[in-house]
Chain A
Amino acid sequence: MDALLRDLRFAIRGLLRTPGFTAAAVLALALGIGATTAIFSVVHAVLLRSLGWGDESRLVSLRTDFMTRHLVGFSLSVPEYEDFTAAPFLEAAGAFADGTAALQGERAERVRVANATGSFFKTLGVQPVLGRGFAPDEDFKGHDEVALLDGTAWRRRYGADPAVVGRSVTLDGHPYRIVGVLPDSFRYGGTREFYVPFGFTDEQRLKQRGAHYLEGVGRLRAGLSPEAAQAALDQLSARVRAAHPESYAPEQGFRFSTAPLRDRFVGSSRQPLWLLFGLVLLVLLIACGNVANLMLARSASRQREFALRSALGAGRARLTRQLLTESAVLAVMGAALGVLIGAWGLDGLLATAPRQIRQLADIRVDRAVLAFAVGVTAATTILSGLLPALRFSRPDLAGSLKEGGQTTAGVSAGRLRSMLVVAQVALSLVVLVSAGLVLRSFASLLRVSPGFDPAGATAARLSPGGPAYDDDDSARARFFDEALRRASALPGVEAAGGIDRLPMEGNYRLSYFIEGYQPPSGEPQPSDAIRRAMPGYFKAMRQPVVAGREFSLSDDARAPLVALVNQAWVRRYSPGREVLGHRIRLDTKRPREGEWRTIVGVVGDAREEGLDRPAPPVYYFAAAQSPPDQMTLVLRGAVSPASLREPLAGIDPTQPEGRIDLLDEVVANSLAPRVFPLRLLGAFAALALLLAAVGIYGVTSYGVTQRTREIGVRIAVGAQPGDVVRLVMGGALKVAGLGVAIGLASALLAAQVLSSMLYGVGARDPFTYAVISMVLAAVALAASYLPALRATRVDPMSALRAD
């Protein structure tokens, strides 16, 4: 203990004597540890931390699969949900559905409201902190006018007033009584302000097997093996298929399935997050390399001290401990600063993160993250201190005697340091290539035409709700017509139309029949994305009409029923044949919805599922002939969102304002999940490059100092300044070149992991690899330029005077 304290005191004194060295090492470590801590906070919160609902291995999503329709992990209908609740292999099962509602107050406001069954909270083990949860009978129509309040909303909206229980709120025109308040910490992949029951009707429970809109969650019975659970699930599927042959025709390939609940929240972010974490660890390694390098340089200049200590009887373990103490002191200082940088970086990170990531979990620097930082610090200590310790704890007395002037000091002393830089360059190349590939993907995505013109148009959302609209198609149609009329009348509007769902904002698929089209045997009826559009929509989007016409005002509720299809639809179902005049109809028994509609036009393809996905087949109905629940108006021209607000609000003051976006924002939002990793990768790449440049500079500069005499001899025998510059920069280039070669080989392997994140560029894209290699070579040259310049100023007299 006493010895340790002495080591510590000695280490700190030594580090303070060389403030430049200490600052450089601490900064390199702080940046590495800071970046790692920030990313780990996200990884931990999203992928590792307990969901907080007890034994996670037993929590599953309950889903349906329609294999032949390529629908896997689909939602449940009410009867299917009830099939699950009755299944003995589940201890509990609940249902959930996300949505929004108009909250009536001084001014109507749209808020996030979810439907949930009482069993949903019980399945997750969530207890209200105030009041009670939903009673079983409150799931059903007639008993369903109760609401649970989210903890955060309780604070924000009601000042945490306990008397809120028993109060009434009006959502979408229906009154609800607040019966309880949920804990603050509760989130289900995001937060909502209110939870209300579904209000299942007998009609839904008995007849609507085809209406899939519930998200199911279940808790498996304790002690159930995965095989037994799967067997029970298969049994349930078979029984349900047999009991309802009219709903599950064999060619649909129907079955029930389950998946770990965490997948619901993590989904597609899992892989990018692990990837980012892996890359940030590489950056940390590069930082460790720099510190090890600095320590080596420092130890080399202290070789005499070590020789002396060793001569005075200090054992190898003793010297190793001394060196490790020094690197530990550095690592601890780096970690302290790094955690600060990490916490601060995390704020910045989250501010720019897409909603999808931010809402996954409550991301913060918590105890686990701090524990991780401590672990990283220990690893850093060892990584950056061990090499110098091994190298110098056994001073090579004979060797240093031999160097006494026989030849100029060779580079062998610097070889270890050069190898470190080689490793750093190799690691940076891996990080840079990853960033480069993702950047190139993004660039090729930006070159993809979305199939419409996103610039210079505005999108205004309308979703009239409440008793006046919910079950009245014509009331909604009148609302949409009036909104479009008012918006079109605004000055600056060149074209206006509406659609129930914009491209890139999710699809809604329905089964339908195509007149004269027989699906290949074993396949079900076609099921594709359906859209309902108002007249003028395609003109406003600048989405071309390639055949026939788009919807017009005369396609109203009384006119013959019409439809449009896109080019992808034509390619899929009617290649090379005339489609105008053909008819399609929905697979439904609802009187008007199920009637035949005549295709009157073909429109160009839009990237409905994002720029990175091919355009799927889409069919369009005239909104007036099949009024949807919601509508997005698209206005082409110089209209400010503000000028839209007033006329839209005037249609029905009880309806809250809808969101108004620029159409480019819709495209930008669809790209957001890619922008986030891209930014991070960019930051990592810059950091890696900087650290590698520092490494190259350090080792070159040290090399020039070590080789002063050799350089003097070369100048004495006639080397020109250019020769000396070539010698020094060539050396740096050689080190970088070796690093690049090793890095290229590693990156070629590592980039395979990236494949799924890439678009329009291969994981082995030669252009990226070539450019990054050249960038690193250029950095090596730049970083070695100053030392090279210094070398040209070596006095050739040093060759004469040396001894």
Chain B
Amino acid sequence: MTDTLIRMQDIEKVFLTDEVETHALSNIHLEVKKGEWLSIVGPSGSGKTTLLAILGLLDTATGGEYLLDQRPVRELAASDRAHVRNRHIGFIFQSFNLIGDLTVAENVELPLTYRGLPPAERKKRVDEALARVGMSHRARHMPGQLSGGQQQRVAVARAVAGDPLILLADEPTGNLDSKNGQTVMKLLSELHAAGSTLIMVTHDPAYARLATRTVSLFDGRIVEESGSSTAA
């Protein structure tokens, strides 16, 4: 039993548009252990979102091998990938992506519904997740009635409610002012402290430093790694 959650070997992603090839990622080697907090930094267009999408099984690599929890993901059919996303991955988006006509609680419940959990179990987990992000009192509100920071906290609750192996966040503070950004980062720190594995894309060096390890991308390649890769 090893505690390596993610192992990427020679991952490459090529986009083909109008017969123009864009090498969004090349030669990516990456390993993430359980409990790590990895931050991905790099200039705009360097491939951060693309890497996160492949990590989260939202997209597929065009080359290389990706083992998630020691299973190769290449062979997975679309519905299996959906299943893996649902069980093992929690997403936090830059633009929150709460569903406007579902209540806060229903938004958090969404992945659990797709998992087919019984209602009582769903309710328990939703309550717990909302409590963790401090949003229990807003469970019946609509997302439109919340501030940006509150919405992102609800989005975090949605990501953790299913108790995933790994949390993926693409610039979780990008749409927030600094005060709200700090609240969300504090939340992520708490999750990390409680044992969650996190991979986060960020532009902000200050936030990147909160992570146990930082990977810098440039032009689709990993140009620098810093921090300890053996953090607990």
Which residues of A come within 8 Å of B, CB atoms? Answer: 402, 405-412, 709-710, 713-721, 723, 796-797, 799-803
Q: A718-B86, A796-B58 are in contact. Are A406 and B144 (CB under 8 A)?
A: yes
Quick check: is B35 within 8 A (CB to CB) of the other chain?
A: no
B221: interface (CB < 8 Å): no
Q: Are B93 and A407 in contact (CB-based, < 8 A)? A: no
Selected from A406, A409, A410, A720, the residue in CB contact (under 8 A) with B82 is: A720
- Pick from B59, B95, B111: contact of A717, CB below 8 A: B111
Q: Are A412 and B79 in contact (CB under 8 A)?
A: no
Query: Which B residue sits closest to A714, measured CB to CB?
Result: B110
Could you give 12 example pairs across A and B, Cβ below 8 Å? A405-B95, A406-B98, A406-B151, A408-B100, A409-B100, A411-B101, A716-B56, A716-B58, A718-B82, A718-B86, A720-B79, A721-B78
User: Are B91's CB and A406's CB within 8 A?
Assistant: no
CA distance A531 to B91 in the complex (A): 90
Do the beta carbons of B97 and A709 come within 8 Å of each other? yes
Cα A566 to Cα B144 with chains together (Å): 80
Contact with A along B38-74 (1 / 0, CB 8 A): 0000000000010011001011000000000000000
Residues of B within 8 A of A407 (CB): 96-100, 143-144, 151
The complex places the Cα of A426 from the Cα of B95 at a distance, in Å, of 39
Cβ-defined contact, A800 with B114, below 8 A: no
CB neighbours (8 Å) of A800 from chain B are: 49, 52-53, 58, 93, 170
**B:99-123 near A, CB below 8 Å:** 99-101, 110-111, 114-115
Residues A410 and B101 in contact, CB atoms below 8 Å apart: yes
CB 8 Å contact bits of B172-215 with A (1 = contact, 0 = none) = 00010000000000000000000000000000000000000000
B85 touches A406 (CB 8 A): no
Question: Does B158 belong to the interface (CB within 8 Å)?
Answer: yes
Q: Are A717 and B99 in contact (CB under 8 A)?
A: no
The smallest C-beta distance from B158 to any residue of chain A, in angstroms, reads 7
B97 to chain A, nearest CB (A): 5
B interface bracket (residues with beta carbon within 8 Å of A): 20 to 34
Q: Are B94 and A803 within 8 A (Cβ)?
A: yes
Q: How far is the CA of A709 from the CA of B96 in the complex (A)?
A: 11
Chain B residue, CB-CB nearest to A410: B100
B82 A715 Cβ-Cβ under 8 A: yes
Q: How many angstroms between the C-alpha atoms of A796 and B97 in the bound complex?
A: 12
Complex CA distance for A800 and B95, rounded to whole angstroms? 8
Check B99 against A710 for contact (C-beta < 8 Å): yes
A647 to chain B, nearest CB (A): 80
Residues in A neighbouring B101, C-beta threshold 8 A: 410-412
Chain B residues with CB under 8 Å of A408's CB are: 97-100
- Decide: B87 and A718 in contact? CB cutoff 8 A: yes
A799 partner, pick from B78, B93, B110, B114, beta carbons under 8 A: B93
Q: Nearest Cβ in chain B — how far from A451, in angstroms?
A: 63
The residue on A at minimum CB distance from B114 is A718
Q: Does B140 contact A (CB under 8 A)?
A: no
Say whether B83 faces chain A, with CB atoms less than 8 Å apart.
Answer: yes
Which residues in A have their C-beta under 8 angstroms from that of B78?
A: 721
CA of A720 to CA of B114 in the docked complex: distance in angstroms? 8
A406 to B110, CA, bound (A): 18
B58 in contact with A717 (CB, 8 Å): no
Cβ-defined contact, A713 with B79, below 8 A: no
In the complex the two chains form, what is the Cα distance from A710 to B94 in whole Å?
14
Chain A neighbourhood of B175, CB < 8 A: 405-406
Q: How far is the CA of A803 from the CA of B101 in the complex (A)?
A: 19
Q: B56: which A residues are within 8 A, CB to CB?
A: 716
Cα distance A709–B85 when bound, in Å? Answer: 17
Kindly list the 8 A-B residue pairs having the minimum CB-CB distance in the complex, ordered from nearest: A718-B86, A410-B100, A407-B100, A405-B95, A717-B111, A407-B143, A713-B97, A718-B114
